[in-house]
Amino acid sequence: MINFAEVSGITIENLGEHGLKALRISNTFCDALIALQGAQILEFNVKYQSYTQALLWLSELNSYQPAKAIRGGIPLCFPWFGGHAEEKSYPSHGFARNLEWALVDVVDIQESGHQLIFELTDNALTRAYWDVAFRLQMQIECGTQLRLSLSLVNLDEKQIHYGFAWHSYFPVKIDEAAVYGLQGKAFIDQLDQHRHKIQHEEAIHFSEEIDRIYPLTQGSFQLRANHRTTLLINSHAQSAVIWNPWIEKTARLADLKPESWREFVCVESGQIASQQQYLEAGQSVEYTLEISAV
């Protein structure tokens, strides 16, 4: 059990009328908010001398109900992305974002900020959807940049396969936003009968709904959020998803305001839609995601 009285800069908050547990982080470098459900970072604001810069977007209409996905921040889609390939009744994007994780360690390092480690292991609920013994850990480092490390350990006696994505929401002015780093890459157009295409343009601009899966990338992207701010997004994961719901789809999503499509873009990092990810018994794998502003 973590004794928060011994760690400076962290307080416990209850979100919404259901009292969903979250941790408020404050240090020299940033302010952040992390929900125990999904080990999901909801807010991350970098501190500069005279102002703060928000690196994540969070919907104002979240109800923060237990076991209900939270719109915004960085939800973790695991152990699959999108709908389940075989069982249509299974939760979209897996179960990891809908379960409460255990906080197993937290450190306040004066020179660099806070480091927190969350853990999720198999139980009766996870085995109902994914009959695997596993340990999943998320290390979140809150300093001058946001750094996430996801490690998966196969505790089973058999080979397992999985997919995942950090479903990152970033704040933008949509008419100024552009995503760089995907020129020449193949993608699956989710809005055009899942056709496979090549991106020839240097940058993605937003003038309509977009939903693209890039199976293989270099894992390094630049998001021009507005005329002043560019976000740098770097990951060891190979896949990416670019998404903005635009006007009509936003209207169908109850946890988004009608004008929300103007305010965010999702640039997601993960392992999806490429070769199947396998992990042998007793083996482990780790992925990282780093986000900073320039």
pLDDT in tens, 66-108: 999 999 999 999 999 999 989 999 999 999 999 999 999 999 8
The verdict on whether 86 is a catalytic residue reads no
> What is the extent of the structural domain holding 83?
4-293
Whole-model pTM: value is 0.96
> Are the C-beta atoms of residues 61 and 255 closer than 8 Å to each other?
yes
User: Mean of the per-residue pLDDT values for the chain?
Assistant: 96
pLDDT in tens, 44-57: 999 998 899 999 99
Active-site position among 43, 141, 167, 263: 167
Condensed to tens digits (0 to 9), the pLDDT of residues 244-274 reads 999 999 999 999 999 999 999 999 999 998 7
Cα four-point dihedral sign 269, 98, 65, 84: positive
Average pLDDT for 201-220? 97
* 93 assigned to active site: no
For the chain, the domain total comes to 1
Give pLDDT, residue 164. 97
Write down the catalytic residue from 111, 268, 280, 286. 268
Say whether pLDDT at 27 is over 90: yes
Domain of 54: which CATH number?
A: 2.70.98.10
Residue 1's pLDDT is what?
Answer: 61
